Structure 1
């Protein structure tokens, strides 16, 4: 994911942080500290994300996996549970701090643990990491923006009401459409007041198709390295892969279409 998404999120965050009306000179020392503390998790995530992009983008690569694959396989064979715990922890950190290398981590899951276990570990780690950034964003910036949207009228209110009516469908679409960066799909729902439980289970289910694709690439990555090649991630855009994903996205959007055709009435 690019720096533009992080820069946009940081700019939006700073605007919200400075837009709170002063509560008065006598009360400012008491109210500002809790407010800043609430924003601290998101500030840390954004800072680490930018730092990680600048320092780790050349480290978490397929070349690194190729150079260390024998050591990783030996560690897996001798300390399987330790390897699982370490892999899941690293993957959670990559997602939670939006660090580069998520695709490499997904492929590594398949390379080390096979299709079934690798997919399970990839989905678990990605879901936990997504939940972490969602909660951090909602605690500070998301709470303020959600309150403003709730109090707004006109177009903003209609947008908010429409999101509440179609929350599940929108969340699934964000996960199933490949063009939506994972960072955006984690951050945006927190900023508009999506319910955490809905975010959590739609994330866990919605990322399964993509996780299967990346994990399956990892299962055969050893042979790819032996040929002196890099894994072909363009497989995601092959018709036999992108077609079913878009079909699932269309299925997720179907309830919204039906509601629109029925004048936004309950089904």
Structure 2
């Protein structure tokens, strides 16, 4: 701050710098919508561009693999809808193992970037101004952060952007976030990459892909994993319950 700056001006400048990453994410999301990029994330695109995509991957595997990771990371950072279709495309293009690896890496990179944006731009100022309730909520979350973040990852109904932003607002450590993201998204990624790996046969047979039915097959075991992830929290709460005084 120069000698001509007032405290109010410096404070406004600080806030503007903090919110700049958020503004970039919002502008990127709006720009992607205006360009219609989300329209290409569909089963129809994979079917109509099947030959061209497979040829490109065959001739430029390393470039295609790196490009896929970059696309997934950017789509996650800018919160574009259609991550499911990108995951399926990964299996379609690179098989179960390659597609799963690329998706986990790309999604973890993008999620970590979004987490960092939320934590530095919004999370820190929010925690500084937090009332007693939010401080208590934050303390409880940070005490069992890994369990809660694994729960967010496993629970099928929790949107991916919510699972990336909520921990940032509650003061999660970057190390715990990256760990829970990398391993927590694996079951779902593998399941839908497996769908993509078999998509060529679906196209050849002229069948319809019933993702709704597949989701309800995957959802129960994923929800079970979510419950299991909270077992350490539940056990800790039981240990904290004081024993009832003995009656005379």
Q: TM-score, normalised by structure 2?
A: 0.89
Which residue of structure 2 aligns with residue 10 of structure 1?
none
Q: Name whichever of 172-181 and 217-226 sits farther off.
A: 217-226
> Root-mean-square deviation (CA), in Å?
1.8
Return the alpha-carbon distance in structure 1 between the equivalents of residues 232 and 171 of structure 2: 20
Q: Give the superposition deviation at 1:251.
A: 1.3
Structure 2 contact 127–135 (Cα < 8 Å) conserved: no
Q: Give the superposition deviation at 1:199.
A: 0.5
Q: Give the superposition deviation at 1:206.
A: 0.2
Return the alpha-carbon distance in structure 2 between the equivalents of residues 37 and 66 of structure 1: 44
Which residue of structure 1 aligns with residue 173 of structure 2?
195
Within a 5 Å distance, the mapping from 1:1-267 to structure 2 comes to 26-53=6-33, 55-149=36-130, 152-153=131-132, 155-234=133-212, 235-238=214-217, 241-263=218-240
Q: Name whichever of 226-235 and 208-217 sits farther off.
A: 226-235
Q: Give the superposition deviation at 1:53.
A: 4.1
Return the alpha-carbon distance in structure 1 between the equivalents of residues 192 and 128 of structure 2: 38
Structure 1 contact 168–202 (Cα < 8 Å) conserved: yes
Count of matched residue positions in the alignment of Structure 1 and Structure 2: 236
SS of 1:178's equivalent? coil
Q: Structure 1 unaligned runs (5+)?
A: 1-24
Which residue of structure 2 aligns with residue 13 of structure 1?
none
Q: TM-score, normalised by structure 1?
A: 0.83
Structure 2 contact 76–107 (Cα < 8 Å) conserved: yes
Return the alpha-carbon distance in structure 2 between the equivalents of residues 106 and 181 of structure 1: 15
Return the alpha-carbon distance in structure 1 between the equivalents of residues 241 and 57 of structure 2: 53
Structure 2 contact 79–161 (Cα < 8 Å) conserved: yes
Q: Give the superposition deviation at 1:230.
A: 4.3
Structure 1 contact 169–253 (Cα < 8 Å) conserved: yes
Q: Name whichever of 48-57 and 245-254 sits farther off.
A: 48-57
Return the alpha-carbon distance in structure 2 between the equivalents of residues 111 and 264 of structure 1: 51
Return the alpha-carbon distance in structure 1 between the equivalents of residues 31 and 208 of structure 2: 26
Return the alpha-carbon distance in structure 2 between the equivalents of residues 190 and 264 of structure 1: 29
Return the alpha-carbon distance in structure 2 between the equivalents of residues 224 and 209 of structure 1: 22
SS of 1:57's equivalent? helix
Q: Give the superposition deviation at 1:97.
A: 0.4
Structure 1 contact 52–100 (Cα < 8 Å) conserved: no
Which residue of structure 2 aligns with residue 18 of structure 1?
none
